[in-house]
Amino acid sequence: MKRLFGHSKNIKTSLIGKVTKKPVFFRKDYIFITDNKIKNGYVALLSKNDIKHVSFPAVCNINNLDELNSGDIVLIEPNGTINILYEVKSNHNALMITERCNCSCIMCPQPKVSAEQDKTLLNLKLISLMSKNTKSLGLSGGEPTLIGDKLVEIILNCKKTLPKTSLTLLTNGIKFDDFEYVKKIVSVDHFDLMIDIPLYGATDGEHNKIIGASGFYKTIKGLYNLALLRQKVGIRIVMHKLNYNRLPQLAEFIYRNFPFVFHIAFMQMETTGLAKDNKEQLWIDPYDYNNQLKEAVDFLFNRNMNVSIYNAQLCVIPRSLWKFARRSISAWKNIYLEVCSQCAHKEDCGGFFETSMEMHSRYVNALME
């Protein structure tokens, strides 16, 4: 999440609103960016300067305030932190449904929490403020299904409020072993809902070791339950030292057991959170599993399955795999290394996670035309 910081005035509780750089008539949901003029009726004022003698919520002396656009949605904390929850110009917006989880994945970039304040009302407010022209929205966690029927409510609100917005639900799929719960999700009848579920191994031992739970067979059952109701589903595979060597076997397992899946994504690992803590167990130079990745991708592609590679750099993977590589890293945490500035293919490359500054392939280099 991108954040800005400033000096808060008259803010005693968290405030959420839509950013505007021009005065609006109906102000109750808007946060106004101003130089130094005081205008009342807004949720709060934001300024790169100091605002003196203000008697209502404001954040002053904000660096990089020009990073905000009219239509962005922010959450202001009493200490002056401005959390950017939604960027109107981004294609990578997502709702954090919950930070709780029923797994303990060894490479999770977003470690779970055991207790939290329910985020449903915040997310419903967010949905109500978003642009009707939002192309896509992620529903993420933690594990979103842990909020039960409230997740159904969120999907239904997206359908009603954002009728043009496609949804991608990221879930471990364990709760979808409950067919009645699957029916509730599917019965919303959202026009474009994609449910992406991770599968890290072709056996229960492989998968369960990575997720830190006994979830393999429940996830498998969940995939079949979704298929029975003709719900569009995808499979995601994060690659690392514990599973890279059996990527071809996993690809064959997917083809033979889940021919109905809409999409399969092989994902380079994000080296933050637990992945960083467990780097000795997990880290392998992505170049070193190119043979296994190529065999797995080719196997699926040659059987007319829709397959992609996420988070990879073109200079690291074989040229024959370039057509599968996608620019998948969210803009706010997507970077390029200094060497990339000379690369002829930078605009086509997915780049790096911000956390990859310290840990990336030794084969990264600038490609010439």
Instruction: Give the model confidence (pLDDT) of 103-135 as tens digits.
Output: 999 999 988 998 899 999 999 999 999 999 999
pLDDT at 331 over 80: yes
Structure tokens at 106: 């060894």
Are β-strands 44-46 and 3-5 bridged in parallel, bridged antiparallel, or unpaired? unpaired
Give per-residue pLDDT as tens, 38-83.
Answer: 888 999 999 999 988 889 999 999 999 999 999 999 999 999 999 9
Using DSSP's 3-state secondary structure scheme, residue 82 falls into: strand
Q: Kindly state the average pLDDT of the residues 137-156.
A: 98
pLDDT at 369 over 80: no
Per-residue pLDDT at 193: 98
Cα dihedral: 16, 82, 356, 280 (round 10): -80
Give the amino acid at 26. F
Domains of the chain, earliest start first = 3-86 (3.50.30.10), 94-357 (3.20.20.70)
Which neighbouring-strand residues pair with 138?
A: 94, 168
pTM given for the model = 0.95
Q: Could you tell me the pLDDT band of residue 330, with boundaries at 50, 70 and 90? A: confident
Per-residue pLDDT at 133: 96
In the DSSP assignment, the letter for residue 207 is H
